[in-house]
Amino acid sequence: MRTYKRISLDPNKMGGVPCIRDLRMPVATIIEMLAEGYDPQQILKEHPELQIEDIQEALHFAKEV
């Protein structure tokens, strides 16, 4: 498995769910939003703490796992 710089897996945060950086934003939430038809710019507008690289890495992570 490749190393992800923007995804954290900490058993003491969010029950160990893969999250974007330390934002408590689960990778699954981003993937669900994309699946529901949100485009990356909409996600960034609703969640200004995210960066486009976070969304891209979430997609790569989901593809791998």
> For the packed helices 27-35 and 52-64, what is the interaxial angle rounded to 10 degrees?
90
Residue 1: its pLDDT value, please? 66
Rg of the Cα atoms in the chain: 11
Domains identified in the chain and CATH numbers: 7-64 (1.10.10.10)
pLDDT band, residue 2 (cuts 50/70/90) = confident
Contact 61, 18 (CB under 8 A): yes
Residue 37: its pLDDT value, please? 98
Q: Look up residue 62 and give its two tokens.
A: 């989901």
Whole-model pTM? Answer: 0.91
Nearest to 53 by CA among 7, 17, 18, 2: 7
pLDDT in tens, 13-56: 899 999 999 899 999 999 999 999 999 999 999 999 999 999 99
